[in-house]
Amino acid sequence: MDAIVLQILNGLDKGGAYALIALGLTLIFGTLGVVNFAHGALFMLGAFCAVAFNHVISLEQVVVDPTKITAWGTPLETRTPYIEVWLGDTGTTLLNYSVPLSILLAVPLMLLFGYVMERGLIRHFYKRPHAEQILVTFGLAIVLQEIVKSYFGANPIPQAAPDVVRGAMDLGTLIGFDPGTIVYPQWRIVYLFFSLGIIGSVFAFLQFTTFGMVVRAGMADRETVGFLGINIERRFTLVFAIAAMVAGLAGVMYTPILPPDYHMGMDFLVLSFVVVVVGGMGSLPGAVSAGFLLGILQSFASMNEVKTILPGIDQIIIYLVAVIILLVRPRGLMGRKGVMET
Amino acid sequence: MSNFRRPINRRSLLKAGAASGLVLATPTIITRNAWADTNFRNDPTNSKSVTFGFNVPQTGAYADEGADELRAYQLAVKHLNGEGDGGMLNTMKPLSLEGNGILGKKVEYVTGDTQTKSDAARASAKRMVEKDGVIMWSGGSSSGVAIAQQSLAQEMGIVFMCGLTHSNDTTGKDKRRYGFRHFFNAYMSGAALGPVLEKQMGKDRRAYHLTADYTWGWTQEESIANTTEGLGWETVNKVRTPLGAGDFSQYIAPVLNSGADVLILNHYGKDMINSLTQAVQFGLRDKLVNGKNFEIIVPLYSRLMAQGAGENIKGIYGTTNWNWSLQDEGSKAFVKSFGQEYGFPPSQAAHTCYVQTLLYADACERAGTFNPAEVIKALEDHQFDGMGNGPTLYRGADHQCFKDVLVVKGNENATSRFDLLEVVEVTPSAQVTYDPEIFGGELGPYKV
């Protein structure tokens, strides 16, 4: 039983990341009709906002000690972050909270990047076939990857969670299990709540604001909204920027779980597309529920008991589910009628 | 039938002479390569220089390791041509090189990108052999890629000096006459780790393996399990994980309540960084199981990986082929040369690539030729010292180097950002030597 609870937690946690990326992906498809293969790269860019922020606040004062020599014959350098030199303990605390603080950098940067990307590139492809949209966005993803790699290198760069949530916690004792049976990393719990919070905020924004109402109306009937004198294009540009920001925030908070490297976006991209397809192209609740569903299924398929009966199932489960869903219900779990159906 | 014989005239004599000449000349025209020992692919006899090929991952997950390998190769070429401070040429014994290239020819090089993919590596190597005329090529960072290139080397008759490859198969079932490995292997890691694990963790342990699902992972899992079971440890489970899984949480969670008190991560590169980071996040290192502290072991370590895993490596045991902190004359000379050139110490990948280049060059010098058959013979069963791992044998039976192996653990009191691994024990070569027959395989012919 404890193994099942642990895998459900894992699935929810993994599903949170899938849902956040898929949410933006499906939002862009639902509003702009664009298949954005660069969305994984936006997740990666968010993660590197955290890395860049950490690099900036960790800038070091280098003191050369001529009395000590390195193994290769140069004087030994002692390095201390400027922030600690200037602010003492406060500086150490700021360094400790580098990942959550980097959200402050990621939000404006990702919004700006999303805006520029939509205005500079994506809008030229609105009326072009999906194949061309895929090619151009995939190409952009590769360019972004290579830029990040040339600057930060190919090796993963570890980012630590704040000390207070760095270890694991005994969740089992809270829900009536024996002590030590359900131990789970605290940061992963933070991530789960963070993703739920972001998902809730996006839904609330679209559901309860005038802006959201116009966007939803535009998604349903773009032309009619245009006839009413509303500049729907401008709103859709903002939607693209918001989707980029959501993917970026998902990336920022994921860095303590997975040390970021330039390729991490591609690793999530394919899975996120499967999530969108299973959930239903353009359906926000579909993307979220499919994200959590596939996350949990993937975790269960990795259990030794399951793998003993079905070897290798952990590697194909997501695609298997996608094939079944597409055969039985081509529009996806919550897809709108007529979307991707002929 | 007539008894009449035609008289021999000048014309028929000339015809007969021409025909005889043609018959005598025919074998030479058709089979000239067969009886000319001096004829071999990319023979540089009429050239003032020789070209090496350095085929490393310049893109992909191992690009940083590939960049460090390339730095080492460039340094080796510099030293071979008599530039710089000479590095290990000052400590290598015996030494036939004179710092004037190889056999008086200047060494030049071309580079290729393996992308850590077998087909890309083979295509790049083929281009270097056929277009650039390399006389030897080298490179590493993946056993699958090394094995694929080794087969190509045998087909093309050009020596391949393996870079970083740790699978038993490279010099085991997939060994080739034209492939040589200086780096240690999974069997040696197991043999070196065994006594240290027994001393540090005792004989009553229960181990759980997470293994990268490809040739290197399988051979390492087998070697380490053989070692730990030999100590009396029980193997609770062996779980294969897809290469590049990213999130390993679904594989780590079952370890928590499996009854295991040791987790062995047969992962390398990004997989190792991710699985170790996540295992530590799951609190495994703080866990008490069967009355013992839970331990994690990473059988193959590298400094570049340790950098990626950050603080999570502290106190975790593993093995490495070489570390820059070694204090022998060869290591000190190499670290000094490399550090002055690039501003930081070399990785183990850089070390093995540098040494392989010098060893090949020295073998040519000793053989007095670039003919690969002779160079191979010069490398086989060659004994040398002063290259950073103590006295070393390049065993002729499988082209595997036998030398001391380092058992290390993640440094808990690092003095610099490079001081990540602490050498716990130097396991003597004799303790990691094995019978070449146990892994099978055939080297193949000298002449191809």
The alpha carbon of residue B283 is apart from the nearest alpha carbon of chain A, in Å, by 5
> For A106-130, what is the mean pLDDT?
92
CA distance B313 to B177: 38
Contact between chains at A10 and B239 (C-beta distance less than 8 A): no
Interface with chain A: mutation pick from B116, B243, B250, B332, highest number of A CBs within 10 Å: B250
Give the count of beta carbons closer than 10 Å to the beta carbon of residue A329.
14
Helices (H), A302-337: 304-309, 313-328
pLDDT (tens digit per residue) in A75-97: 888 888 899 889 999 999 999 99
How near does any CA of chain A get to the CA of B141, in Å? 13
Q: Which residues of B touch A71 (CB under 8 A)?
A: 324-325, 332, 335-336, 339, 345
- CA angle B394/B397/B401 to nearest 5° reads 25
Among chain A residues, CA nearest to B270: A156
| A79 → chain B, closest CA residue | B416
Determine whether the interchain pair A183/B60 forms a contact, defined as Cβ–Cβ distance below 8 Å: no
Answer yes or no: do B270 and A14 touch at CB < 8 A. no
> Percent of chain A, pLDDT > 70?
99
What residue ranges define each of the domains in chain B, with the CATH number in brackets?
A: 49-184+326-402 (3.40.50.2300), 187-320 (3.40.50.2300)
User: What torsion do the CA atoms of A8, A12, A14, A15 make, to the nearest 10 degrees?
Assistant: 130
User: Residue B229 corresponds to which amino acid?
Assistant: E
Using DSSP's 3-state secondary structure scheme, residue A97 falls into: coil
Q: Which of A12, A21, A58, A70 to mutate to test the interface with B (most CBs of B within 10 A)?
A: A70
Q: Are A292 and A318 in contact (CB under 8 A)?
A: no
Residues of B in contact with A180 (CB under 8 A): 287
B180 within 8 A of B162, measured Cβ to Cβ? yes
Nearest CB to B253: which of A6, A256, A263?
Answer: A6
Residue in B closest to A256 by C-alpha: B277
What residues does each domain of chain A span? 2-328
Kindly report the number of other CB atoms within 10 A of residue A62's CB atom.
8
Do B373 and B289 form a contact (C-beta atoms < 8 A)?
no
* Residue A255, both tokens: 């860095």
Q: Name the amino acid, one letter, at A287.
A: A
User: Of the candidates A3, A258, A261, which has its C-beta nearest B247's C-beta?
Assistant: A258
Q: B21: Cβ–Cβ under 8 A, 6 or more apart, which residues?
A: none
Q: Which residues pair with A218 in a beta bridge?
A: none
Least confident of A136-140, A251-255, B33-37, B417-421: B33-37
A chain contacts of residue B60, beta-carbon cutoff 8 Å:
154
From CA B161, how far away is CA A130, in angstroms rounded? 47
The whole-angstrom separation of Cα A302 and Cα A118 is 39
Residue A230: CA atoms inside 13 Å, Cβ hemisphere, count?
A: 18
- What confidence score (pLDDT) does residue A32 get? 83
Chain A and chain B share a number of CB contacts under 8 A equal to 129
d(CA A246, CA A242): 6
Own/partner pairs, B361-365, CB within 8 angstroms, 24+ separation: B361/B76, B361/B80, B361/B97, B361/B102, B361/B107, B362/B92, B362/B95, B362/B96, B362/B97, B364/B102, B364/B103, B365/B96, B365/B97, B365/B98, B365/B102, B365/B103
For A332, residues 6+ apart whose C-beta sits below 8 A from its C-beta are A276, A277, A278, A279, A280, A281, A283, A286, A290, A325, A326, A340
What does the pLDDT read at residue B7? 55
Maximum Cα–Cα distance across chain A: 77
Distance to chain A for B127, nearest Cα, Å? 25
CB contact under 8 A, A72 and B339: yes
Judge whether B208 and B263 are in contact, CB under 8 Å.
yes
Give the best-scoring range by mean pLDDT among A16-30, A215-229, B389-403. Answer: B389-403
Q: Using alpha carbons only, give the angle B380, B382, B388 rounded to the nearest 5 degrees.
A: 125
Nearest Cα to A121, choosing from A148, A107, A139, A146?
A139
Say if the Cβ atoms of A302 and B273 lie within 8 Å: no
Q: Which residue has the tokens 């027994």?
A: B198
CB of A88 less than 8 A from some CB of B: no
Instruction: Please state the ipTM of this predicted complex.
Output: 0.82
According to the model, what pLDDT value does residue B198 have?
93
> Which one of A70, A72, A163 would you mutate to disrupt binding with B, by most B Cβ within 10 Å of its Cβ?
A72
The Cα–Cα gap between B227 and B193 comes to 8
Which of these, B367, B337, B351, lies nearest to B135 by C-alpha position?
Answer: B367
Task: Extract the runs of DSSP E, i.e. beta strands, from B49-167.
Answer: 49-56, 106-113, 136-139, 159-162
Q: Which among A277, A205, A234, A263 is positioned nearest to A35, based on CA atoms?
A: A277
Tell me the residue type at B299.
P
Q: Does A259 touch chain B (CB under 8 A)?
A: yes
> What letter would DSSP give residue B81?
T
CB contact under 8 A, B246 and A153: no
Q: State whether B282 and A184 contact (CB < 8 Å).
A: yes
Length of chain B: 448
CA distance B345 to B333: 11
What's the N-to-C CA distance of chain B in angstroms? Answer: 53
Closest chain B residue to the Cα of A76, Cα to Cα: B416
Q: Which residue of A has its CA nearest to B275?
A: A258
pLDDT tens digits, chain B, 448 residues: what are they? 444 455 556 566 566 566 655 555 544 444 434 444 568 999 998 899 999 999 999 877 788 889 999 999 999 999 999 999 999 999 999 999 998 999 999 999 999 999 888 999 999 999 999 999 999 999 987 888 999 999 999 999 999 999 999 999 999 999 999 999 999 999 999 999 999 999 999 999 999 999 998 888 998 999 999 999 999 999 999 998 887 777 888 899 889 888 899 999 999 888 888 899 999 999 898 888 888 999 999 999 887 788 888 888 999 999 999 999 999 999 999 999 999 999 899 999 999 999 999 999 999 999 999 999 999 999 999 999 999 999 999 999 999 999 999 999 998 888 778 888 999 999 999 999 999 999 999 999 998 8
A312 phi-psi bin (left φ>0, alpha ψ -120 to 50, beta other):
left
Using the structure block, give the residue that is written with the tokens 């071999």.
B40
* pLDDT tens-digit map of A273-293: 898 889 988 788 899 999 999
